[in-house]
């Protein structure tokens, strides 16, 4: 017998939520096979079985929060027997063949056969399915309390005999509740663990930092012309990797961080921790919310390597394949609301970092070239949200001005790299 425990996830992660059981009780399990998926604050993690055998017990239901090191399942030696789940109840009825005539045994068997086919299509926790089998309850006739997933308490409620004398009394409150305001329907959904974590972290940042935002605008003319001239050659030289704007802004951020090291810092108690590495988080939007995978060692990588890393991480994020290592250790973050059409925003600092750079839409606007001339130029607003406990306004403005100057003069950015 082997206990399946919640593995060590990461230094800052102490618990997770059971997202989905990939195996059911009675299933054969191979050594190293994934049996359950955990949703953590940052990524989803699949837990494997350390031994081959049969999954004989599940100790935590889907949706339960479990701590690192806790036992969530048991795998026993042996092999799964075909139709073993059906055989056990039948053996309990076999001792005397006269039981076949007993209404209780007959009804239990019929209920079991009926639920075996229909229950597979119903969303229910493993323990709810097990209880339904034991009580001969058809899950398709079970009403849930508040969610789409049937839980054991729902099965217990369905198993209780309903008093005949008070049907009207029970239906009246339900009728009143559903008709409170039928013209204003609502749908109530439980927040996913990821969304709960995002809400908690953003609130913590707002409450625990003195966050301010400063703005500037960048003339994108020169960098756009450079991309236009070089993009085909760049793609040929780097195995199809495209030259985007993110590598320019990432390299500009590294140069600015070197010039203003406090922006690459964080507060730890009464200490200021100055990071002498440049691992840049790139915010990526997914169906489950915003995630920030990290492009490591951006000061040591060229434009093509940064662009390829960003593409790889974005694909992994959308396919839910990000690992914990992809998310840990960032020193500074860049977010690009411009891909969704944002003209200007005040991004919120990521975690314990000191600042975050916000990019926005490129919009053609009339710009004064000098006192006599105006031209239409492709312009982008950029924003730096920063922790005023660490960074003074002069540093913040200087940092953003450095980004502006390097993007407007990309040749200088290449020299900085």
Catalytic residue annotation: 388, 392
Residue closest to 278 by CA, chosen among 265, 268, 291: 265
Cβ atoms 243, 307 nearer than 8 A: yes
Provide the 10 A C-beta neighbour count for residue 388. Answer: 13
Write the secondary structure of the chain as one string of H (helix), E (strand) and C (coil): CEEEECCCCECCECEEEEEEECCCCCCEECCCCEEEEEECCCCEEEEECCCCEEEEEECCCCCCEEECCCEEEEEECCCCCCCHHHHHHHHHHCCCHHHHHCHHHHHHHHHHHHHHHHHHHCCECHHHHHHHHHHCCCHHHCCCCCCCCECHHHHHHHHCCCCCCCHHHHHHHHHHHHCCCCCCCCCCCCCCHHHHHHHHHHHHHHHHCCEEEEEEEEECHHHHHHHHHHHHHHHHHCCCCCCCHHHHHHHHHHHHHHHCHHHHEEEECCEEEECCCCCEEECEEECCEEECCEECCHHHCCHHHHHHHHHHHHHHHHCCCCCHHHHCCCCEEEEEHHHHCCCCCCCCCCCCCCEEEEECCEEEEEEECCCCCEEEEEEEEEEEEEECCCCCHHHHHHHHHHHHHHHHCHHHHHHHC
Non-local CB neighbours of 47 within 8 Å, separated by 6+ positions? 4, 6, 7, 34, 35, 36, 37, 38, 72
- In the sheet where 71-76 sits, what is the strand order? 2-5, 71-76, 53-58, 28-29
Separation of alpha carbons 46 and 168, rounded Å: 48
């Amino acid at each position: 017998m082997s206990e399946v425990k919640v593995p060590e996830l990461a230094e800052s992660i102490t618990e997770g939520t059971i997202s989905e059981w990939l195996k059911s009780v009675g299933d054969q399990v191979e050594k190293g096979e994934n049996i359950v998926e955990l949703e953590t604050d940052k990524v989803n993690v699949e837990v494997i079985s350390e031994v081959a055998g049969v999954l004989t017990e599940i100790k935590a239901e889907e949706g339960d929060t479990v701590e690192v090191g806790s036992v969530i399942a048991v795998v026993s030696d042996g092999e799964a027997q075909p139709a073993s789940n059906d055989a056990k109840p039948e053996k309990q009825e076999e001792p005397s063949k006269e039981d076949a005539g007993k209404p209780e045994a007959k009804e239990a068997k019929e209920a079991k056969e009926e639920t075996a086919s229909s229950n597979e299509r119903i969303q229910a926790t493993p323990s709810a399915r097990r209880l339904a089998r034991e009580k001969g309850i058809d899950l398709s006739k079970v009403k849930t309390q508040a969610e789409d997933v049937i839980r054991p308490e729902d099965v217990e409620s369905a198993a209780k005999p309903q008093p005949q004398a008070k049907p009207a009394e029970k239906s009246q409150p339900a009728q009143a509740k559903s008709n409170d305001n039928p013209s204003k329907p609502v749908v109530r959904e439980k927040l996913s663990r990821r969304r709960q974590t995002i809400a908690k972290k953003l609130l913590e940042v707002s409450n625990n930092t003195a966050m301010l935002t400063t703005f500037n605008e960048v003339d994108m003319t020169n960098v756009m012309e450079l991309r236009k001239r070089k993009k085909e050659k760049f793609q040929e030289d780097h195995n199809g990797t495209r030259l985007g704007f993110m590598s320019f802004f990432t390299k500009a951020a590294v140069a600015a961080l070197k010039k203003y090291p406090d922006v690459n810092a964080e507060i730890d108690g009464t200490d200021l921790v100055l990071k002498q590495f440049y691992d840049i988080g790139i915010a990526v939007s997914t169906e489950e919310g915003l995630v920030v995978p990290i492009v490591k060692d951006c000061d040591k990588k060229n434009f093509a390597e940064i662009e390829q890393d960003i593409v790889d991480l974005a694909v992994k994020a959308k396919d839910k394949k990000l690992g914990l290592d992809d998310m840990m250790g960032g020193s500074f973050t860049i977010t690009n609301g411009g891909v969704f059409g944002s003209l200007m925003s005040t991004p919120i600092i990521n975690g314990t970092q000191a600042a975050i750079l916000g990019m926005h839409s490129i919009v053609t606007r009339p710009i004064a070239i000098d006192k006599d001339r105006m031209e239409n130029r492709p312009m982008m607003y950029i924003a730096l949200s920063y922790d005023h406990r660490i960074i003074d306004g002069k540093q913040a403005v200087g940092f953003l001005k450095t980004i502006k100057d390097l993007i407007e003069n990309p040749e200088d950015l290449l020299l900085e790299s």
